[in-house]
Amino acid sequence: MSHPAVEPAPTEPGWSDYGTLAFTYFAVGVTVSVAMIDAGISVGTTLIAALVVYSATSELAFLAVRAAEGSALIGILSGWLVASRFGLLAISLGTRFGGSRPHRAAASINSFDPNVALAMHQPEPNRLRTVFWKVTAALMVGWWVGSIVGVALGNVIGDGAAWGLDAVFPATLLAIIGSALRARDGLTAALAGGAICLMLVPVAPAGAPILASALGAAVAVTLSRNRGPGMSSTPMGRRS
């Protein structure tokens, strides 16, 4: 009689993993700061954004709107839109994080893709919290040091487009949503949002199509409810 294979328990990331994450965010911090300086944003504002906003996609979304001559308000709203996923990550983390209310509050404002993903793979609350804060520290150190270096290099590198920095935002966003596109709901939201955006580009102010494309998520939710439970998040080509 055969027994089903037992999967090994997830292990905590090693120091090399934390170092890799820190270096990755260092590189992102350099890239974003150089792009900010290249766009004419002051050194002070760039550093404050790195400290307070702490989101590469939000800053790059703002720059994309401003580069298209959109208003600062629409740029800020676009940055908020792409950062709204952090709230969903905090909600998913909160179901298992445990601890005191101040501890959970601190974790909620530091919930990002890598630290939540790695923490949620840990089977025990104590290990989950430990991994979460270790990854968070690695991300912060890499991001802040990279942002400072990027500010220092911003006036040296010159035209960011010549270095391919204009492609960083779409590439980063695709990397983030890549896994979601494999699910039926994710693909539906992406296609609906893309269609809305394309229709509005010729007639709407710069940046407004990005905000309106968020309606694609509402379309996906509506369709998933119509399909009924158990079918909304099944990746295409698989059956549960």
Q: What are phi and psi of 21, to 5 degrees?
A: -65, -45
State residue 138's pLDDT score: 93
Helix (H, G, I), strand (E, B) or coil at 183: strand
Can you give the pLDDT of all 240 residues of the chain as single tens digits? 445 554 445 577 788 888 888 888 888 888 888 888 888 888 898 899 888 888 888 888 888 788 777 778 888 888 888 788 788 788 888 778 888 888 888 998 899 888 888 888 888 888 999 999 999 999 999 999 999 998 888 766 555 555 555 555 555 556 555 555 566 666 676 677 777 767 777 777 666 666 666 666 666 656 665 655 444 444 433 333
- The Cα 66–Cα 128 span in angstroms is 39
Overall pTM surpassing 0.75 (yes/no): no
State residue 236's pLDDT score: 37
Q: What are phi and psi of 140, to 5 degrees?
A: -65, -45
State residue 131's pLDDT score: 92
- Residues listed for the chain: 240
State residue 81's pLDDT score: 80
Nearest to 63 by CA among 81, 36, 43, 44: 36
- The Cα 29–Cα 24 span in angstroms is 9
Q: Where are the domains of the chain?
A: 15-177, 179-240
Helices and strands, number each (H, E), in the chain: 12, 0
State residue 74's pLDDT score: 81
